[in-house]
Structure 1
Amino acid sequence: MSVLAELFWNATIAEIKQGYVFDQEMEAYICLVCGKRYEKGVIYQAEDVFYEAEKYVRRHVASDHISMLDFLLGLDKKISGLTELQRTLLNMFQMGLNDNEIVRELDGGSTSTIRNHRFTLREKMKQAKVFLSIMELVEEKSINQSRFIQFQQSNSWLDERHQITEEENEEIVRAYFKQGPTGPLSEFPKKEKRKVVILRQLIQSFDKQKQYTEKEVNEILKERFHDYVTLRRFLIEYGFMDRFPDGSCYWVKG
């Protein structure tokens, strides 16, 4: 799955309707149609007018993609579930055409047929709401039944966004420690959840009862990943390890 497809399917209905999402990690607004990013805090210019990031991404969606309705109606039937006729009718409905005008545009049929299509599409919307509610309840129950990794008190800043099931933890460890959990790290991830899992795994290389010099910490981390400085910094920032201000002594927190 591409990053853009993942963003689209993870977006809420409100986000899909507006055409963009806000990525907390990158601090950027991302267009769900083309993936263009606009960083929060940066000012963008268009036609001698200056825009803050969110207003600019709204402008981008409207000017480059016409509307999210047009984009969504253009999606393949496998994605939208709509037939060609249903897409055509929905486009005419949003244009405000009445039943008689639609019959003329289609060059055939009857107003009663158009009314029947309106009814069928509204029923489809109701069914979609019920199905979505069912699936969300099933997913919530599944999550509640999953066993979550418990973090120590020093990681109390972690909230529900960082909740990780044991299954997720094992999957991430396998993906990033290809030679086993005590082997080298293939790469350091950007996503928050994955970072937490990696750091939780790395801290197990240290003895909780021991104090370390910075050189000793570096030597241990160097065996796991070439950029040991980044690992050491994140172990401190994420509350897995602490140190004296002068860096003369490090230890495992908790």
Structure 2
Amino acid sequence: MELNNLTLADLRQGWHPTLDGLQCNYCQAHWATGTPEKELVDHLTLVHGGNLAQLIHTDSRYNTLTTKQQDLLTAFSTGIKDQDLAKQLQVAAATIRHQKFTFREKAKQARLYLAIYDAVFDQAANQESPLIDVPTQTGPVDDRFMITEDEAASTLQHYFDFEHQPLRLKRWPKKQKVILTVLTRIIEEVPTNQHFSESAINQLLKPIYFDFVTVRRYLVDYGFLTRTADGHEYWRTTGKE
């Protein structure tokens, strides 16, 4: 699930709008605008076990819930009475009530933080171009990754021959920030949800730049591509989470 482009409403319902319809938050399932909500909910239930289950157990660095907390929230979602849940877990009912209180306090903190964040950065957004998305990095994040949309547009226009089909890179940049910006465009030529052999990924990159090996290496180093340990299989990294 790509959190960057989803609103709170999108997360709550389990699907989000696209240019030509609606799409599931968890797979490539797509529906036309105006599709009955029941059809979308049925898909989430049958294919993904329900949107709530996906949210609670989502595999994301932003999900800080412990396994115990996930289990408790799953139980609370069923409407089970505190006394009955306490018996199941062999704890006092007061312990269950305390857990609910803790969750409510966290929710209050989250709402306050969102209000502060929106007030600060909505105002800032009117003054500067927003940053583009780059893959989550395993190492330290520095100024290389602070790339505005305006900056990226200017850089890409400078380094790519957009009149040529297929896409062609005019020259390889020297600065790492520019390399990273260039990679954000190159990766768009690699289909999502597909695995490729090294030969196949080379065939995709070769028309873009003659030194496709360097391009491939940087795509892996910066997290745009993932590969197996033996380097025999490559696939596009999905999302920044």
Normalised-by-shorter TM-score class: 0.5 to 0.7
* Cα distance in 2 for residues equivalent to 1:62 and 1:133: 32
- What RMSD over aligned residues (CA atoms) do the two structures have, in Å? 2.9
TM-score by length of 1: 0.52
Once the two structures are superposed, the pairs formed by residues 99-248 of structure 1 within 5 Å of their partners are 99-106=82-89, 108-146=90-128, 167-178=148-159, 184-185=162-163
2:56 aligned partner, one-letter code: L
Structure with bigger helix share is 1
Once the two structures are superposed, the pairs formed by residues 58-137 of structure 1 within 5 Å of their partners are 58-76=41-59, 78-106=61-89, 108-137=90-119
Q: Please tell me whether residue 29 in structure 1 is matched to residue 11 in structure 2.
A: no
Task: Return closer, same or farther for 1:184/1:130 CA change in 2, 3 Å cut-off.
Answer: same
Whether the aligned pair in 2 keeps the contact of 1:30 and 1:37 (CA below 8 Å) is yes
* Cα distance in 1 for residues equivalent to 2:51 and 2:42: 12
Task: Return closer, same or farther for 1:170/1:114 CA change in 2, 3 Å cut-off.
Answer: same
Deviation at 1:73, TM superposition (A): 1.1
- Local SS of the residue matching 2:126: helix
Task: Return closer, same or farther for 1:89/1:21 CA change in 2, 3 Å cut-off.
Answer: same
Deviation at 1:75, TM superposition (A): 1.7
* Cα distance in 2 for residues equivalent to 1:40 and 1:188: 32
- Local SS of the residue matching 2:159: coil
Deviation at 1:111, TM superposition (A): 1.2
Whether the aligned pair in 1 keeps the contact of 2:16 and 2:22 (CA below 8 Å) is yes
Whether the aligned pair in 1 keeps the contact of 2:129 and 2:150 (CA below 8 Å) is no
Task: Return closer, same or farther for 1:69/1:146 CA change in 2, 3 Å cut-off.
Answer: same
Return 5+ residue gaps in structure 2 as ranges: 131-146, 168-241
Which deviates the most, 86-95 or 58-67?
Answer: 58-67
1:89 aligned partner, one-letter code: L
Which deviates the most, 77-86 or 88-97?
Answer: 77-86
- Local SS of the residue matching 1:145: coil
For each residue in 1:113-158, what CA deviation from the matched residue of structure 2 results, as whole angstroms up to 9, or x when unmatched? 111111000000010001111111121121122279xxxxxxxxxx
Between the two proteins, what is the percent identity of the paired residues?
28
* Cα distance in 2 for residues equivalent to 1:104 and 1:77: 32
* Cα distance in 2 for residues equivalent to 1:147 and 1:40: 30
* Cα distance in 1 for residues equivalent to 2:157 and 2:165: 7
For each residue in 1:178-223, what CA deviation from the matched residue of structure 2 results, as whole angstroms up to 9, or x when unmatched? 25xxx5557799xxxxxxxxxxxxxxxxxxxxxxxxxxxxxxxxxx
Instruction: Look at both structures and tell me which one has the larger radius of gyration over its CA atoms.
Output: 1
Whether the aligned pair in 2 keeps the contact of 1:15 and 1:21 (CA below 8 Å) is yes
Q: Which has the higher contact order (CA 8 A, sep 6+)?
A: 2
Task: Return closer, same or farther for 1:10/1:77 CA change in 2, 3 Å cut-off.
Answer: closer
* Cα distance in 2 for residues equivalent to 1:66 and 1:60: 9
